Chain A
Amino acid sequence: MEKFTAWMEEHFVPIAARIGSQKHLVAIRDAFIAILPITMAGSFAVLFNAIVRDVMAENALNLPQVTQAFQWLIAIDGNVWWGTIAMLALVFSFAIGYQIAKAYGVTALAGGLISTSAFIIVTPQTANASLTFADPTLVSQQALDMITESGGVVDAEAGTLSLGAWGNLNVSYLNAGGLFTALIVGLIFTIIFSKLMKSKLTITLPDSVPPAVSDAFRALIPGTAVLFGAGILAYALGELHTANAEIPGSLGDMITKFIQTPFLNASQGLGWVILVTFMVELFWFFGIHGSNVMAPVMSGVYLTALTSNMDAWATNQNYADLPYQWTSGSWEAFVYLGGSGASIGLIIAIFIFSKRKEYRTIAALAAPMGVFEINEPMVFGLPIVLNPVFLIPWILVPPILAVIAWLATMSGIVPPTIIQLPWIAPPIIGAFIATGFQWTAAVLAAINLAISVLIWSVFVIMANGMAEKEAAAEAQVEAAATS
């Protein structure tokens, strides 16, 4: 065991250091952290609506008058949603450009602006609106001809009229659905921009010119080159689309179709959920902040799933229409009860079964923090780090809870998460709120908590036995010494 842990310290822990110092991964992570106030504001808009509108409409309550009285709040929530969740990719494109430029040691603001501009350049400039006729036969042929001549597309059988208008950005490219596009475009173009900024392709002015002016000039050639590059890319894709309609006409459509959708669909599989859970715990066992190390995956993939759900909920309020079942919120609601390792279960198990005084002291210290998902006192104080007795439950409990929650979610017993909460949201209450006030979610969190207490208890009792043996051995040694 000692050899094994030494080997792991030497070979596994440096992986964390490598991920933690890989500047692109760190930039992605920090960009997601930077947009947290935006997603949180959007999350609150969804949360308030869930309270005054969706919960009140439920059969058990059936209080439409409350919803009526809060129409003003629902309208405000709609405005906030429009600027936050509905524009998430747009906001993110600035954040990623900013962080990448910062990582490369280039003016961060310039990086953010270049990234945002490049993102809009590759986004289609027209948006379509469509109307459905209740009775298409009532529209005269003359009227239809007039509409077609002025650019509308009429499908008389289906009874639809669609119109494209130039000068509009379609929200579907700017919301969570466009996150991967914003990420990829931001990464590529800001990296090129940063590299050009550091190359000799800049205009250097004499020292007598004020720094603000010379900075603007320095960015002139790199900025123009990069944005023209984005323009050429958008043009080339448009030409390809004209030649072959199978190819999506915009980078946004292409990335969504070939990268984001396949990635996120795969992320829903049980294997990935177990693997991610397991990796987080394994890092923690060596005293490394697993969620911090795994953040690029957690945010890039599973937070994207959660924000997509938030957006779908804000527009439809229907659990059946949610695009993703498993999100970053699922872990927080059902798996990380009391922090990684479901350590609130361990605290409870110690309170009930432990005969070891030092365990009880640490558990008492850790309990108030554990309620808010902070578990460092348990990890380092008990400790769990490199503790062979607790290795098995530490590594196994969270994946077991994840499997149960995954099955319950996939079978529809528990709805997917739709609201992003701060990670310090207490267990059970967190699950209840994150799913839009669904009591089944609270029950699942409670069941998972009970299971974690049960498994942890076995090992706490084992630790009791070991303490007794150690004490007996010490007593024997002492007895031998005095005799």
Chain B
Amino acid sequence: MTKNILLVCSGGMSSSVLVKRMQKAADTRGIDTRIWAVADVRSTEAAKEADVILIGPQIRFLLNKMKERADGKPVAVIDMMQYGQMNGEKVLEQALALLPESNQ
């Protein structure tokens, strides 16, 4: 089953850089994923298609709002250091760990 991982940041720019690295990490491991990034403004619509939502640390103050939008789906803030180093491997792990067991 494809795992839909949504990244959200302020403008959808910096997280899109991370998307590429995460996708690469997922491809190497042979995990079927769809990873994409959107700006905060577009997150309500995008959240409907996601299985797990990760938000950039710079908009961590919007965590509660994002949880409302996520409708019970797992939401978490990306670790600052991993975000800064654009560590696709580690952030992918964080996303996978958040997935409900039925989808792991």
Contacts and interface: CB of A to CB of B under 8 A. Distances in A.
B60 interface: yes
B58 A378 contact: no
Majority-rule SS of B interface residues = helix
B70 to A, nearest CB: 15
- Residue of A30, A287, A288, A380 with most chain B CB atoms under a 10 A cut-off: A380
B65 A377 contact: no
A460 B62 CA distance: 33
B84 A380 contact: yes
A381 B56 contact: no
Given A287-B60, A291-B10, A292-B59, A376 B83 contact: yes
A389 to B, nearest CB: 16
B61 A383 contact: no
Interface string A12-25: 01101100110000
B2 interface: no
By size class, the interface of chain A is 20 to 34
A365 B58 CA distance: 19
Interface in B44-69: 56-62, 64-65
A3 to B, nearest CB: 21
A382 to B, nearest CB: 7
Contacts of B41: 30, 33-34
B80 A287 contact: yes
A96 to B, nearest CB: 14
Contacts, number: 80
Interface residues of B, number: 24
Interface in A254-304: 284, 287-289, 291-293
B62 A423 contact: no
A34 B83 CA distance: 27
Nearest to A23: B65
Interface stretch (B11-19, B24-32, B94-102): B11-19
A374 interface: yes
B85 interface: yes
A381 B64 CA distance: 25
B85 A362 contact: yes
A424 interface: yes
A385 interface: yes
Contact of B84 (A13, A14, A33, A383): A383
A379 interface: yes
Contacts of A381: 81, 83-86
A380 B13 contact: no
Contact of B61 (A17, A376, A378, A382): A17
Contacts of B64: 17, 21
B17 A379 contact: no
Interface string A362-392: 1001000100101011111111010000000
Contact of A376 (B40, B60, B62, B84): B84
13 contacts: A20-B59, A20-B62, A21-B64, A21-B65, A34-B41, A288-B58, A288-B60, A289-B58, A292-B40, A379-B84, A380-B57, A380-B84, A381-B81
Interface of B: 9-11, 13-14, 17, 39-41, 56-62, 64-65, 80-81, 83-86
Given A17-B64, A21-B65, 13 more contacts: A20-B62, A33-B39, A34-B41, A287-B60, A292-B40, A365-B86, A369-B17, A374-B17, A376-B83, A377-B86, A379-B84, A381-B83, A381-B84
Interface of A: 13-14, 16-17, 20-21, 30, 33-34, 284, 287-289, 291-293, 362, 365, 369, 372, 374, 376-383, 385, 423-424
